């Protein structure tokens, strides 16, 4: 490297949190709050908690958790040289916590009827990374997990009725092609 060349500076962005990503990857839905308790300054953990609350239909919780995630992320971004309105590229994986939190807050604000805020959050998300809303919708929008339980499993769990399979039913006799019995 010559004196005229310099190492390119990293764009402003969030700190990578591999330990938080690992904890979230191994946590079930009920353990996400524990991950937040263990990593209270993690925008990623709070964004995950916001998505979880949203998936459970808890708009107030989703809004509150997303607000914390956005605030923490903006503090980290500012510390790395970011200014409000500047790009926060989706391509830098740690930044996704901020972008997801903005979107979760926007979704919750929509459910709560905070129309002016919805517009501001949508604008903020678009100025951070215009591709983020589509990426979030396809990769991160939470869905409710519904456990499918068969009636036989319910009966077995109750313990007072044994689930049994019936006798095999014989195949009905096929009639010949001429329609004779």
pLDDT of residue 154: 43
Q: Residue 45: its pLDDT value, please?
A: 97
Range scoring the smallest mean pLDDT among 48-57, 69-78, 107-116, 170-179: 170-179
Mean per-residue pLDDT for 35-39?
97
**pLDDT of 108-157, one tens digit each?**
999 999 999 999 999 999 999 999 999 988 886 554 333 344 444 445 55
Assigned CATH class of 18-139: mainly alpha
Q: What are the sequence ranges of the domains in the chain? A: 18-139
Q: Cα 91–54–110 angle (5° rounding)?
A: 90
Q: What is the mean pLDDT of residues 69-78?
A: 97
Burial of 27 (0-12, 13-18, 19+ CB in 10 A): middle
**Class of residue 110 by CB neighbours under 10 A (exposed 0-12, middle 13-18, buried 19+):** middle
Q: pLDDT band at residue 159, thresholds of 50, 70 and 90?
A: low
């Amino acid at each position: 490297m010559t004196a005229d060349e310099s190492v390119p500076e990293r764009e402003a962005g969030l700190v990578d949190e591999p330990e938080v990503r690992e904890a979230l990857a191994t946590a079930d839905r009920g353990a996400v709050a524990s991950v937040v308790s263990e990593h209270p300054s993690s925008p990623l953990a709070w964004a995950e908690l916001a998505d979880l609350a949203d998936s459970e239909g808890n708009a107030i919780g989703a809004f509150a958790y997303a607000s914390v995630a956005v605030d923490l992320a903006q503090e980290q971004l500012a510390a790395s040289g970011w200014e409000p309105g500047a790009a926060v590229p989706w391509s830098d994986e740690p930044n996704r916590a901020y972008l997801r939190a903005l979107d979760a807050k926007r979704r919750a604000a929509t459910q709560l009827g905070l129309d002016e805020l919805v517009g501001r959050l949508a604008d903020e998300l678009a100025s951070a990374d215009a591709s983020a809303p589509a990426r979030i919708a396809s990769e991160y929008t939470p869905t409710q997990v519904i456990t499918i339980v068969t009636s036989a499993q319910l009966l077995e769990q109750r313990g007072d009725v044994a689930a049994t399979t019936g006798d095999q039913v014989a195949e009905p006799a096929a009639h010949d092609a001429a329609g004779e019995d």
